[in-house]
Every structure is written in structure tokens, then in C-alpha cells.
Amino acid sequence: KQEVTQIPAALSVPEGENLVLNCSFTDSAIYNLQWFRQDPGKGLTSLLLIQSSQREQTSGRLNASLDKSSGRSTLYIAASQPGDSATYLCAVYSGGGADGLTFGKGTHLIIQP
């Protein structure tokens, strides 16, 4: 059974810093990996999707990498801003069309003004 772990569980940094969020998964046989953002009491916002054949994806100040063989992904946030404060979730898709995503427990990020 696939398991996803995110480290750290919580992180608080001053505005402007670059930071890295980590995600690891136990079964490397995945189709893709997604990073989401969730604001308190809200739904999910998809940030980046990396297919299993890809090594990284970039969107603005966000860069996600994937090392499928080692079961790891990182989300790099450059020049952090208070508006980046949220919970960041990593999820992997392992199924062949009939399975949902397996989520990590998330990293709760606070960017101090």
C-alpha cells in the first residue's frame, strides 16, 4: 500500500526566504505526483503536476522535482511571501484509472511578514 510522508509537518520562516518542502513515497510505481495548496477551510488548489517520466516542473516561483526511483519529490518556493502561507499537500497517483490519489499529511507553512 502506497504511503506518502511530508517533512516538515510545519514551517515558519521570514518573508523573502527560499524554502524547500519534502515529500517521499514508498512505492515508486507511480503515474504522477501533484503538489497542492490548501487554505484553511478551503478546497485544494493544484500547483504543479509531474508525470512519472518528468524530472521537474516550474510555475512562477515554484519548482517541483521528482526522483521516482528514490521515491522523493521536493517543492521549492523562491522569495517567499506572506500570501504563500497555507498547507501544502503532496499526492501521488499509483492506479491504472480506478484509484484515487494518496495524500501526505501536509506541511503547514507560515511566512512571517
Partner 1 sequence: GAVVSQHPSWVICKSGTSVKIECRSLDFQATTMFWYRQFPKQSLMLMATSNEGSKATYEQGVEKDKFLINHASLTLSTLTVTSAHPEDSSFYICSAMIHPFEQYFGPGTRLTVT
The span from the CA of 108 to the CA of 100, in Å, is: 23
In the complex, least distance from residue 67 CB atom to partner 1, rounded to whole angstroms: 19
The span from the CA of 42 to the CA of 84, in Å, is: 15
Q: Does 71 bind partner 1 (CB under 8 A)?
A: no
Integer-rounded Cα radius of gyration of the chain: 14
The answer to whether the beta carbons of residues 51 and 32 sit under 8 Å apart is yes
Q: Does 57 bind partner 1 (CB under 8 A)?
A: no
Among 11, 13, 19, 44, binds partner 1 (CB under 8 A): 44
Among 47, 48, 66, 89, binds partner 1 (CB under 8 A): 89
Q: Does 85 bind partner 1 (CB under 8 A)?
A: no
Burial readout 75-94 (b: 16 or more C-beta within 10 A, e: otherwise):
bebeebeeebbbbbbbbbbb
Number of residues this chain uses to bind partner 1 (CB under 8 A): 25
Q: Does 60 bind partner 1 (CB under 8 A)?
A: no
* List of residues contacting partner 1 (CB under 8 A): 31-32, 34, 36, 41-44, 46, 49, 51, 89, 91, 93, 95, 97-106
